[in-house]
A and B are shown apart, each in its own frame.
Chain A
Amino acid sequence: MEASDAMLVQQALHGNQEAFGVLVQRHRNAVYALCRHLAPTAEDAQDAAQEAFVRAYRSLRSLRDPTRFGCWLRSTASHVALDLARRHQRLLGRPSGTVGEIEAASDDPEQEFLVREEVRELQAAIANLPEQYRVPMVLRFSLQMPYEEIAEVMGISQGAVEVRLVRARKALRQMLSGAHQAAAGEVM
């Protein structure tokens, strides 16, 4: 029987670091992916993800419901990553819009190139979304989280999550059609 998050949290609270190690193992990919899509660079993402775990460990006692550890952890991670991104933005004076290329695997080289172009455009568009739209997008499509959990991570209602996702799609469509038109204009 695999120990639940809640059990592991309890054990960690009683000083069992190995239990927390299991939690790290269980959530590292989700937390890292979240950070990777919110933080400007891969290094920043790793820093943010590590920091999120350390902070979580430090304030484990303030977690009211140990069964919600995952959402609580993701929430912490999104804050850390966004903080990092904001600092990055302030430092460089421009939005951290250009997320470094994130590889998506494909078998056919030619197909892969086309897909890559599309993916890169879309990634740039998502990176340029405001935070309030970008976070639910990442949670939904990268972490495959249901609305209910996204609402919990973000501390908003499910309705608000739906609204934000709809608006995010609309904004992305606008951005992408605008980009296509610009590309067409350049060609002509």
Chain B
Amino acid sequence: MDCDTIHPLLTRYADDELDERERRLVDEHLHTCVSCRAEAETLKAENEAYAAALPAVPAPEGFQEAVMDRIRGGEGEPFWQRLRLPSLVATLRVSPALAAAAALLLLVVFGLPSMLTKSAAVKVMRGPTLGAGASKAGPVQYERAGGLQEEAVRPGGAAAGPTAGDHTAPMSAEDMRRELDALRTRSATSGGGVREASASVYETFTQLAPYGNASDAGAPLLSEVDRLRSRVGEAKKEWVSSQNLGMSAPRAVTETEVLDNTVAARRVALAGTRGDVYDWVPRGATPGTTATPPPVAGYSLLQGGQRPITPESTKATVTLAVYYKELPGEPAEDRSWATTYQAQFDGAYTVRAPESKRKGVRIELTFPFPPSASTIQDAKLTVDGAEDARKTTYSLAGIRWAGWFEPEQERTLSVAYRAYGKGDYVYALPKDSICKALDLEIRVHNLRRGVRPELAPESLPATIAPLERGDANDFRWTYNNTITRRDIVLQLPEKTAVTPMLERVAQYTDEILPLCRFAPLLLALFLGGLLATVRPGGSPLRMDAVMLLAIAFLAFFPLYMFTAAYLGPAKAFGLSLALILVVTIAYAALAGGQRVAGVVAFFGAVCLGGFGYALLKPELRGIIFTAGGLLVLLWFMVLSARRPRAPTAPPPDNGS
């Protein structure tokens, strides 16, 4: 062996890294070679110096305890172990802002549904029958949103009832009885008594309605109203029999019904403006079950001998301007809006006297004003273009005119007035004769774009589909030789712009509530899937990151609720889902990398998109739950198949 072979081995020789054979060779060579021996000695000396310069410094006191403290404090511990309460509390203590945010969010998510339940849970109870006339068969169901028991409704003084000056507080039943007795006396002497009595009932309703809900106090009050109402009915009948103003009895009875219906219609109109769900009259009922439709704004043409005659043609235009009047309320949220209108009516009736052997015939026209109108202006009746003041009488009830027609004489009676009123606009058609040629046009304007008046279900349909032109909506009826029991009833839209947020949300209570109730379950599924999939050792997804993901996940629910108020449940669901998924996936990608982002995307889509949607759509619930469950199962199967075989369990540690 020469030095060239041995020399490269010397470092390893000095470091004691040679195997047995090499070591023997080097040893043999060192016995003979001085220079190599010197080199080896130098190396060994150097090694000693290096070892002296790099001493094995022992760890300082308490080192192990410090390390174990850090580990026990949760640092570096996998999260399923860190989910123990003490360490969770420690995490919360570390980031109070995070904890506060989480608490707030939880409050919103789990508090809002209960809030909704309180304010909007619809209670249905069977109310007493309305009206002694019993024209509306059977008990009337009404519904009312709870939570408004304390409000005092104050109508804007539109109805000129005797109680108009004092409606800050509900009348006591005793007061009402006295009031009605007074009315009864008055009704015996004046034709306006019935109207006043009706107004009084209306006022009573208005004041008692808020108390007439499910509360126990409400029921006796309602029955009291019922009794009072029947007494008013009696008063009307008395008036009818005692005050024969030259009109036929059926006519008068009809007017009684008109007023009944007006009360009901006003009630509905007023209730509607409050955003509540009242249904005092069976609105959508078939015409057969409702009372005789009210000839409110129609006319009555009678020839001598009280036989009705029919105008040759009827042409009328009504221009309705809609205004909303704020009804005061305390607190401010209880303020509501009444729908009022200003109607300009222009009607022309061509009347031809029947052929007669006599010299002529006396024809009498009665033209009532709409009872929902509180003020009439510029009322004018002209006959062939000329006013006939002598033969015309004007009253709050309407216009009456009687004139003499030669046989087969044709005259044009024109009626014009401007009315201010509240609620629906009704134009009644004659029930006891044929309507030869009707041409009625109603133009509604002063409405917000997109807001449209609608015809009541029981109304005579318009012959031309309603046109929307700018802010005006035109309706037109052209009917020839028509006999109908229907009238033209135009429902003016309620003010919707001021609907409070909560009420908007409440519209969708039925859709939103199941979803919100299951929010904790969906969150648990999401977190469970996430924590079960992301290996805590491999992927450093910290506890606060998981918490933030959970908060973002929960944020879906309030977001959905509030967007639903504006977009409707379906669109809001899509939008909120997309937003929350984008946020959580992006955050997961930043905090935990691509893999975590994928897991969050999968479980977010399944839990929110799949199961959430299933909760919204009961008819699809079964299939979506099954599919989602299978998908999750598949996910874990793939995951477990790809996971490396787990090490066998260690033997119990009884050594050391």
Query: What residues make up the interface of A, taking CB atoms closer than 8 Å to B?
Result: 1-3, 7-8, 10-11, 13-17, 19-22, 24-25, 28-33, 36-37, 42, 46, 49-50, 53-55, 57-62, 66, 102-104, 115, 118-119, 122-123, 126, 137-138, 140-144, 146-147, 162, 165-166, 169, 172-173
Chain B neighbourhood of A173, CB < 8 A: 46
Question: A102 and B57: CB pair below 8 A?
Answer: yes
Flag if B60 contacts A11 (CB, 8 Å). no
User: In the bound complex, do residue A57 and residue B76 qualify as a contact, i.e. CB atoms below 8 Å apart?
Assistant: yes
Residue in B11, B58, B67 whose beta carbon sits within 8 Å of that of A29 in the complex: B58
- Tell me whether A141 and B57 are in contact (CB under 8 A): no
Contacts of A144 in B (CB 8 A): 51, 56
Query: How many positions in chain B have a CB within 8 Å of any CB in the partner chain?
Result: 44
With A57-B76, A169-B46: A50-B70 Cβ-Cβ less than 8 Å? yes
Find out whether the CB atom of B63 lies under 8 angstroms from the CB atom of A61: no
Query: Cβ of A20: which chain B residues have Cβ within 8 Å of it?
Result: 68, 71
B11 and A119 within 8 A (CB): no
Residues of B within 8 A of A19 (CB): 653
| Pick from A61, A103, A138: contact of B54, CB under 8 Å | A138
Q: Decide if A102 touches B535 in the complex (CB within 8 Å).
A: no
Q: When A29-B56, A50-B63 are in contact, do A141 and B50 touch as well, CB less than 8 Å? A: yes
Known interface pairs A16-B653, A32-B63, A169-B46. Does A58 touch B76 (Cβ–Cβ under 8 Å)? yes
Q: Mark B39-74, 1 if CB is under 8 A from A, else 0.
A: 000010011011111111111100110111011100
Contact of A10 among B56, B67, B77, B650 (CB under 8 A): B650
Chain B, 630-656, contact with A by CB distance < 8 Å: what is the 0/1 string? Answer: 000000000000000001011101011
Q: Does B81 contact A (CB under 8 A)?
A: yes
CB distance from A142 to the nearest CB of B (A): 4
Proximity string of chain B (15-38) to chain A, C-beta cutoff 8 Å, 1 when within and 0 when not = 101000000000000000000000
Q: Are A17 and B53 in contact (CB under 8 A)?
A: no
* Least distance between B34 CB and chain A CB atoms (Å): 20
B537 touches A59 (CB 8 A): yes
B50, B68, B76, B536: residue with the most chain A Cβ atoms closer than 10 Å: B50
Additional pairs, 9, CB under 8 Å, beyond known A29-B59, A123-B53: A36-B57, A37-B54, A53-B71, A58-B77, A137-B50, A141-B53, A142-B51, A143-B56, A162-B17
A-B contact pairs, 24 of them (CB 8 A): A1-B655, A3-B656, A7-B650, A7-B651, A11-B653, A24-B67, A33-B55, A49-B59, A49-B63, A53-B67, A54-B67, A58-B537, A59-B538, A61-B535, A61-B537, A66-B647, A102-B53, A102-B54, A102-B57, A119-B49, A123-B54, A142-B51, A144-B56, A169-B11
Mark each residue of chain B from 528 to 557: 1 if its CB lies under 8 Å from any CB of chain A, else 0: 000000011110100000000000000000
List chain A residues, Cβ under 8 A from B15. Answer: 140, 147, 165
A28 to chain B, nearest CB (A): 4
CB-contact partner of B653 in A3, A24, A166, under 8 A: A3
Q: Which A residues touch B76, using CB under 8 A?
A: 54-55, 57-58
Contacts of A119 in B (CB 8 A): 49, 52-53
Task: Name the residue on A nearest B72 (C-beta).
Answer: A17
Using CB atoms, name the residue of chain A closest to B49: A122
Interface contact A166-B63, CB-CB below 8 Å: no
Q: Which residues of B contact A50 (CB under 8 A)?
A: 63, 66-67, 70
Contacts of B78 in A (CB 8 A): 58, 61
CB contact between B53 and one of A8, A29, A126, A166 (< 8 Å): that residue: A126
Specify which chain B residues have a CB less than 8 angstroms from the CB of A143 in the assembled complex: 56
Cβ-defined contact, B81 with A15, below 8 A: yes
Give bound CA distance, A60 to B650, whole Å: 15
User: Given the complex of chains A and B, what is the CA–CA distance between A20 and B76 in angstroms?
Assistant: 13
- Give the residues in chain B near A1, CB-CB below 8 Å: 655
Task: Name which residue of chain A comes closest to B540, CB basis.
Answer: A58
The chain B residues found within 8 Å of chain A, CB to CB, are 11-12, 15, 17, 43, 46-47, 49-60, 63-64, 66-68, 70-72, 75-78, 81, 535-538, 540, 647, 649-651, 653, 655-656
B617 → A minimal CB distance (Å): 41
A57 to B650: give the CA distance in the assembly, Å.
17
- Shortest B451–chain A CB gap in Å is 62
Distance, CA A147 to CA B11, complexed state (A): 12
Chain B positions within 8 Å of A49 at CB level: 59, 63
> When the two chains form their complex, are residues A165 and B11 in contact, meaning their CB atoms are under 8 A apart?
yes
Tell me if B653 and A2 are in contact (CB < 8 A): no
Residue among B52, B53, B537, B538 with the highest chain A CB neighbour number at 10 A: B53
In the bound complex, residues from chain B placing their C-beta under 8 Å from that of A59 are 537-538
Decide if A46 touches B656 in the complex (CB within 8 Å): no
Residue in contact with A118 in the complex, picked from B17, B49, B63, B77, CB distance below 8 Å: B49
Q: Distance in Å from the Cβ of A2 to the closest Cβ of chain B?
A: 6
A36 to B647, CA, bound (A): 34
Find the A residue at minimum CB distance from B55: A104
Which residues of chain B are near A25, meaning CB under 8 Å? 64
Is the CB–CB distance between B11 and A28 below 8 Å?
no
B538 proximity list for chain A (CB < 8 A): 59, 61-62
The interface residues of chain A lying within 8 Å CB-to-CB of B56 are: 29-30, 33, 142-144
Docked Cα-Cα span, A162 to B22, in Å, equals: 16
Residues of A within 8 A of B57 (CB): 29, 32-33, 36-37, 102, 142
Most buried by B among A32, A61, A119, A141: A141
Contact yes or no, B53 A54, CB < 8 A:
no
Q: Which residues of B contact A166 (CB under 8 A)?
A: 11
CB distance from A156 to the nearest CB of B (A): 15
Instruction: Considering the complex, give the chain A residue whose CB is closest to the CB of B71.
Output: A57
Interchain CB contact under 8 A, A10 and B64:
no
Q: Is the CB of A2 within 8 A of B655?
A: yes
Q: Is the CB of A137 within 8 A of B655?
A: no
Docked complex Cα distance between A173 and B45 (Å): 12
Contact B537 A62, beta carbon cutoff 8 Å: yes
Q: Is the CB of B53 within 8 A of A122?
A: yes
Please state if B68 and A21 are interface contacts (CB–CB under 8 Å): yes
CA distance in complex: A31, B380 (Å): 109
Complex: A7 Cα to B56 Cα, angstroms: 26
Asked if A22 and B656 make an inter-chain contact with CB atoms under 8 angstroms apart, the answer reads: yes
| A169–B78 CA distance with the chains assembled, in angstroms | 44
Q: Which residues of B contact A37 (CB under 8 A)?
A: 54, 57
Q: Assess whether A137 is in contact with B12, with CB atoms less than 8 Å apart.
A: no
CB distance A17 to B650 under 8 Å? no
B11–A162 contact, CB under 8 A?
A: yes
Bound complex: CA A61 to CA B77 (Å):
11
State the Cβ distance, A46 to closest chain B Cβ, in Å. Answer: 6
Tell me the smallest distance from the CB of B83 to a CB of chain A, in Å: 12
Residues of A within 8 A of B12 (CB): 147, 162
Q: How far is the CB of A110 from chain B (nearest CB, A)?
A: 17
Q: Which residues of the other chain, A, contact B60 by a CB distance below 8 angstroms?
A: 32, 42, 46
Interface residue from B67, B75, B656 paired with A2 (Cβ < 8 Å): B656
Closest residue to B12 on the A side, CB-wise? Answer: A162
| Residues on B with beta carbons closer than 8 Å to the beta carbon of A21 | 64, 68
Do B63 and A46 have beta carbons less than 8 Å apart?
yes
Question: For residue B62, which residue of chain A has the nearest CB?
Answer: A46
Given the interface contacts A32-B57, A118-B49, does A7 sit within 8 Å of B653 by beta carbon?
A: yes
Q: Is the CB of B54 within 8 A of A28?
A: no
CB distance from A185 to the nearest CB of B (A): 23
Give the residues in chain A near B655, CB-CB below 8 Å: 1-3, 7
Residues on B with beta carbons closer than 8 Å to the beta carbon of A102: 53-55, 57
Q: How far is the CA of A172 from the CA of B43 in the complex (A)?
A: 12
Q: How far does the alpha carbon of A172 sit from the alpha carbon of B47 in the complex, in Å?
A: 12
Q: Which residue of B lies closest to A54 (CB)?
A: B76
Chain B residue nearest to A56 in the complex (CB): B76
How far, in whole Å, are A55 and B537 apart by their CA atoms in the complex? 10
